[in-house]
Each structure stands twice: as C-alpha cells, then as structure tokens.
Amino acid sequence: MDINGPTNLRVYTLYAQLSHSMQLECFLTGPSNIRKIVLATNIAETSITIPGIRCVIDCGFVKEKFFNSIDGIDILKTVRISRAQAWQRTGRAGRDASGICYRAYTKGEMDSFMNSTQPEILRTNPTSTVLQLLAMDVDCNNFDFLDTPLDESLTSAYRSLDGLGAIEYGPISYITPLGRLMSQYPLDPKYSKLLTSASSFGCMEEMLRLVSVLSSDNVFVSSSSKSELATLAHAKFHSKHGDHLTLLNVFNLFLKAEKPKVWCHDNYLNYRCLIYARNVCRQLSDISLRLGLTINNSENIESFKKCLLKGFFENIATLQKDGSYLTYSGHLKAKIHPSSVFHLKYKPKCILFTQMIQTDSNFLRQVTDIYMDWAKEIVPCLRNGLK
C-alpha cells in the first residue's frame, strides 16, 4: 500500500498466515526516498530480521491461546507481553545500524509485566498431554512436571477425555481401548475422536481432509489492496452448511487443481498452508490404515455433521433472542466471527464451533449449523443440558 503526501510511505503487513510471496516483500529493498513501514505480529520478535529497520513501535500486547478450565474451551485472547518479550521487540531495531524503540506504555506499566512468558503447559489445554501419559500408564496426578498444570485444568482434561470415551475417569483413571487408538494420532483428542468415529459414519475420507486443514493455519489470504477480489474469490467455496464444509470444499478443489500454486494465487488462498494440510492428510491416512480403520467416503451431509458432534460436543452454542449465542460449556455469550460464512447472514438456531476468540467480545470461529436433536442423539451426556 502506497501513501503519497509530504513523505512517501510504503506499508507492508507481516504475519504467519500471510502468503510466502507477500511475506518476502517485507525483505526487499525499496525505492530511494521511500519510507518502509512494516505492521507485524509477534512473528517479528525472534523469527526474523528485516534489514533497514531503524525504529520499532511496541504496542505491548500479544494474542495468546489460553484454556479456560471452568468452561472447558480454548480461547485466543489479547494479553500484555512479558518483559522478556518487550526486550526482544526492542532488539528488532538497529540490527544493521543504530536504532530506537518507542513503547506505547509507561515504565510503571512495564514493571508490572511478568518477567518471562508463561510456559505453554500452564495456559493451554492439557488434554492431549494427559491422554499420551495415560497411554504410557502414567497418571498425571502423580507425575513430576517441570511446570505443573493447575489442578482445575487437569480435572477438566480428565472429564473431557471421559466424555470422549478415551478414559474411565475415577480416583484412579484408566485409558480405554478407544483411548489407545486415539493416542496413536499426533492430534488434539477432539480431532482424534473425529477420525476414530468417521468410518462408522461413512465419511472417513472427508474427515481426514477436514482435520488436516484444521491442523494448518488459515488457508484464506486477505489482501487490503484487493479485498473485494479476495472476497469474491472466497465466496465460490462457501457452503450454506457452514465453515467446516467450506474448508473441505477448498481442500477438495486444491487436490484436483492441475497447477495448485497458480490456482491458490488466483483464488487468494495460502499455498503453503494447503501443501502442509496435504502432507498431514497423507500421514493421518497412513496411521488410520495401520490402525485398521476403513477409509470410506460419502456425500451425506447429515452424517458428516453428526460425526463432527462426536469430537466437538463441548463446542455447541444456541441462538439467543438478542442475536448472540450461548455456549453449552460455561454458558458464555458470543458472536459468530466475521470470517464465517454465517456472519451478517442467516443465523442457525444451534451451531458447533472449533474455537472461541476473546477480544472486546467473544467470537466463535469455524462454525457449522446443527440440530439440537442430533446433539442429544449422538452425545447422551447432553440430553439434559440442551434445550
């Protein structure tokens, strides 16, 4: 983006989900007498060095993933950085010449920051860790962690695994045969449950592809200079059933494309993320065959949605009179994320979501419409909870 005025500027963005070619633009030497401005996420803290940067403006915030043990939901929210991160950001200026960092917070505020970033095991969902340790006959309640997760988080993880059928929860918890199958996948147990259930619903191939895309970063590329063209290109993939089938449409067409790199460029899709998803899909298919699971496929949308409920039964929300949604776990009010195909359009009475993002409001990402009767049928523990 160019801004012409008293001083000529060229503005670039830099974040993990940006296409590789657009990321490289930040590193190119610009024309003389043009000031280069890079708007970056925390990818710029330690991963890269951009030549020519003389000035850094640090906002003092970062988006991090947290696990809400009370609600049993993963939340992406904006939080203050640590002092260690602040000094890392300062170091981005003056790498090849003298530079300066402007901090958008006071010294007193910085003194209140944590010394270092909180270990991931203390703020993320420990469910996968608990399952892997139980598969080795190790009970997390007696395991000597370097950084021990909160008791509430471990209890929530045990209960979630019990709901998925992966363990028998009690004073002494045991892994089930299904749990041992699930532990063979290098995935979040919710995704593992989808794959171990998919064959019985006749949609194993579809679920393998969906889980692979969900395991990757955002496949949609947004362009500030060509936002209308990107929106039109993405609309071709939209499914009236929601975002999960929209992602599946993208991946199916990507696999069929004769020139996938050109096809991604023309449709404003992240080629690198889709290649990663394709490699993940091959690996998951090999694991599934080794476990003796049948790789079948079906065009039955209802069976596909019911299978989604097997893994995401905790991620259900119902429409309220004010147009917001109330989550089944935790009873949190939330809105559908602006990136969803349902945003500003038809609002289903009951939805299933992959993730909750918390900024000034709660937003539900990757949404699919479902029926409450399905939830009660597929997951018995919900029969008395959903209305």
The answer to whether residues 313 and 336 touch, using CB atoms and an 8 Å cutoff, is: no
Burial 342-372 (b: 16+ CB within 10 A, else e): beeeeebebbbbbbbbbeeebbbbbbbbbee
The answer to whether residues 330 and 72 touch, using CB atoms and an 8 Å cutoff, is: yes
Is pLDDT of 6 > 60?
Answer: no
What's at 291, amino acid-wise?
L
Which pLDDT does position 181 carry in this prediction?
Answer: 95
Contacts of 364 (CB under 8 A, 6+ apart): 317, 325, 327, 334, 335, 336, 337, 340, 351, 353, 355, 356, 357
Neighbours of 57 (CB within 10 A): 13
Is pLDDT of 161 > 80?
Answer: yes
Arithmetic mean of pLDDT, 269-291: 95
What's at 210, amino acid-wise?
L
Which pLDDT does position 231 carry in this prediction?
Answer: 87
Is pLDDT of 244 > 90?
Answer: yes
Continuous segment of H or E residues that includes residue 283:
helix 271-290
Contacts of 111 (CB under 8 A, 6+ apart): none
- Distance, CA of 25 to chain centre: 26
Residue 236, Cβ density class (10 Å: 0-12 exposed, 13-18 middle, ≥19 buried): exposed
> How confident is the model over 17-52, as pLDDT tens digits?
676 777 788 888 777 788 888 888 888 777 677 888
Please tell me whether residue 7 adopts helix, strand or coil conformation.
coil
Please tell me whether residue 234 adopts helix, strand or coil conformation.
helix
Neighbours of 16 (CB within 10 A): 13
Which pLDDT does position 310 carry in this prediction?
Answer: 92
Cα 254 to Cα 271: distance, rounded to the nearest angstrom: 9
Arithmetic mean of pLDDT, 214-233: 83
Q: Against a cut of 0.85, is the pTM above it?
A: no
The answer to whether residues 191 and 185 touch, using CB atoms and an 8 Å cutoff, is: yes
CA dihedral 294, 300, 304, 310 (to 10 degrees): -80
Which pLDDT does position 380 carry in this prediction?
Answer: 66
**What are the respective helix, strand and coil percentages of the chain, to the nearest 5?**
40, 20, 40
Percent of the chain with pLDDT over 90: 51
> How confident is the model over 168-184, as pLDDT tens digits?
988 888 899 999 999 99
Burial 308-337 (b: 16+ CB within 10 A, else e): bbbbbbbbbbbeeeeebbebbbeebebebb
Please tell me whether residue 71 adopts helix, strand or coil conformation.
coil
Angle at 336 between CA 334 and CA 338, to 5 degrees: 130
> How confident is the model over 109-131, as pLDDT tens digits?
999 999 998 888 888 888 999 99
Contacts of 13 (CB under 8 A, 6+ apart): 22, 38, 39, 40, 224
What's at 277, amino acid-wise?
A
Cα 135 to Cα 276: distance, rounded to the nearest angstrom: 28
User: How many residues are present in the chain?
Assistant: 387
- Distance, CA of 274 to chain centre: 15
251: its two tokens: 């991946």
The answer to whether residues 68 and 330 touch, using CB atoms and an 8 Å cutoff, is: yes
Which pLDDT does position 25 carry in this prediction?
Answer: 82
Closest by CA to 204, choosing from 132, 125, 287, is 287
